[in-house]
Chain A
Amino acid sequence: MKLARMGSFHQTRLSFMRILLRRLKAENWRFDAPVFDIDMRGQGVAVYAAHGPERSYSLIAFANDLPPEKRSDRVIATEWDATFTLFDGGPEQADIERLRANVPLQEAGRISERELSLSRANRSVRLWDHVVDRLASGQQPDVGMVEQVGYLMRTTAVYGSGKFGAADREMVMDRPEFQAPFQVEMLSVFLTRAFVMDLVEHMARLRAPETAVPLDPALRRRFGIGNSTGLGMAPFLINHPVLLNNWMAVREEALARVRSQTATDAATVASFTAHIARAQENTRLWRSEHPAQVRKLADLRGDLDALAEHAARMDWTAPMPWDRLWRWAEEALGLEGQEALLSLMLEPHGALVDGLECCLAADEAAHRRIDGTVSVARMRERVEAIYDWALRIDWTRPETHARVWYTSEEKLEPRLEDDATGEVAAYALPLCPGRDAALLRADLQRADADETLAAFLMRHPEHRHIARRAQIAARFPYAEIRDNTIAANMLPIDLLRAKLSCFGATHFDPRSDRWVRINMFRGAPFPGDLVAGEADDWMAPALQEQSR
């Protein structure tokens, strides 16, 4: 579990967006928009409701007429083109009025236990104006522009569990639809995409009622919803070691199940090779100007070509075909290609791996207690076994601890300082388990080997955080990222991509080493399409689209 590999993760069948859509389809969820009241200037409110077998949820959207100078994806923005909350049930008018006074303020407002999420989005101005112009004049937008941008609105933060007064995850996690992680947030984004597409058509109709046309349904599906994510998300995987473990354990178990198949059949191989072709096309549509991502994309394209060629000529009738393929890839492909292959190998094996989605959630509070009865000697052995990689680092070298994670007073936003000797060092957050483990081990070495950990921690409360992590990591093998998160050359975008790929994001486009844009639900069906259509075959363009 190195950052370079985590920064090459791709979405899989077990990504949270796909889990959501499979459930919505399997349970025949119904959707409607009971409120859509938006004026010529693009201001107003809309409600999009999702009705499941037992409960309903409503995305309440507040649309705004935002002056361009106020449009920023940064968390420090104070106004957005649209703001949203996912309401538990169907809102009364009084709920909408209460939320109208709070949701557009985002972090500066308050929501209640009736609300499950809080989010906002800004237009991609270029594509938005183009699509409204074209539709208003009775034409479809330019396919090339749609492909290049990929979305009409970009969400920034999508806040869930308990944030700004919202309901805690613990209040809803016993509902089957929210058992898997981040289903509230994914449902909110899925409905947001539907709203945004309806809104752009609505704006074109208001502008030119005589001539306006709706989007062509096939083209409409090629719009996802964007997201712009900065450092705020980066600490999450470090702050939630048991959850990280479960996500990684599910991924490893899924891969192991496929690799341990003794044989395969022609239909499975055909599906797999078709998915390679679709992944190649998807990679063609993946744009980025960031030099690191440009290199990674070139690697990925080369790897997928090599994979397609290898898959076409390998002997699929020999025993353990998937394991042989994986072993070949470990030698022949880079990290991007290996990670893409993992995703592709799971693709035709839904029956084998989809059941693992129930293992993604974690009861983190159950693992907080420190076992202080162990001896200092035993604790030292554990630390040396788990953090061997960190103990090999020469922490006296400045580049090994060049960075400081801290929270800024302004907007309470996590930030990263490049000058570890500066004044922010006093505000450092505990987001560097490797160095903390090295410091813990040094003090354990100086302590009496027979002393209990409880007594040691009484004398050394500063090690309490890492002692807890080490005991968690002793039980959960994927709880710790085995890399230095404060090194001079650490890339925060690796942490962002690892988490966002678990969501099901695609088309990672880093804008710097600590800020990334992505696409969500691109190619996915819209809520109304789920009953009659396919719910889980949209992550890459279908093959017939390539002939266009």
Chain B
Amino acid sequence: MSWSLVETEALARKAARGGGYSWGQAEDAGAAVRWLEARGLPGAAALADLLEMPGDAGSCPIALGTSLCDRGEPPAPMTIAEMRAPVLLVPFLVWVAKPDDMYLAASLGAARIILGPDGVWLDDVHRLPERAGVQISGAKRPAAPPIAIRDRCSCGADVMEALDRFALRTYAPATERSRLAGAGAGLSDND
């Protein structure tokens, strides 16, 4: 079974909100998860990990990523001592304004990701850490073809269930009153 990217993004947005982010940050978190999943990178799982992992804004890829994007300056070189679910930082490094021919290398622990205007390169997806120091530096375009873009998210059901648990916190418990008044029905449909 696979998930559509639209529903993956929507669930990630709600989960981030349920996990305590503001709606505006949650929108960026949802977009980041979608961007990663569209490249076969485990964005949904990373968000689920992030929401389970306590920590401050300094080690949060959503807080740092949105801030880097907002500032609109190329973030290289840069060293971050510790980042939770660091792969979530990658989409923001792509989105941040930078020269058209600039390539960046992001070292997430043992994993290395190259980002450029025409794609993303990752040597081994299994090396992506749950938390790690991050180093960002200039890079050259690899000779290999970049990661192919996909139409679907193929993460495991357990990951979606983990996000669902956080998303659930954004839903108000229903009452009989809200059932009738909230959606505005009450008249017969048998006509």
Contacts and interface: CB of A to CB of B under 8 A. Distances in A.
Interface of A: 68, 71-76, 110, 112-113, 122, 124-126, 161-171, 228, 230-232, 365, 368-373, 406-410, 412-413, 415-418, 423-424, 426-427, 429-430, 452-454, 457-458, 461-468, 492, 511-515
B66 interface: yes
Contacts of B152: 113
Interface string B161-191: 0000000101111100011011111110111
Enumerate the 4 nearest inter-chain pairs by beta-carbon distance, A residue then B residue, closest first: A464-B24, A162-B6, A372-B70, A514-B184
A171 B2 contact: no
A371 B95 CA distance: 12
B31 interface: yes
Q: A-side binding surface: helix, strand, loop or mixed?
A: mixed
Nearest to A368: B31
Given A76-B179, A165-B7, A512 B185 contact: yes
Interface string B139-173: 00000000000011000000000000000101111
Interface string B58-80: 00000100110111100000000
Given A75-B183, A166-B4, A511-B187, A368 B171 contact: no
5 contacts: A168-B5, A170-B5, A365-B31, A407-B171, A457-B70
B4 A408 contact: no
Contact of A230 (B3, B23, B69, B184): B184
Contact of A417 (B22, B66, B182): B182
B130 interface: no
B6 A161 contact: yes
Residue among A369, A418, A512 with most chain B CB within 10 A: A369
Contacts of B190: 68, 71, 125
Residue among B27, B63, B70, B72 with most chain A CB within 10 A: B70
B1 interface: yes
Interface of B: 1-7, 21-25, 27-28, 31, 63, 66-67, 69-72, 95, 151-152, 168, 170-174, 178-179, 181-187, 189-191
Contact of B174 (A370, A408, A454, A463): A408
Given A231-B184, A511-B187, A371 B3 contact: no
Contacts of A371: 70, 72
A112 B189 CA distance: 31
A418 B184 CA distance: 11
A125 B171 contact: no
Contact of B191 (A126, A161, A168, A458): A126
Contact of A165 (B2, B69, B173): B2
B187 to A, nearest CB: 5
A230 B24 contact: no
A462 B22 contact: yes
Contact of B22 (A168, A232, A372, A461): A461
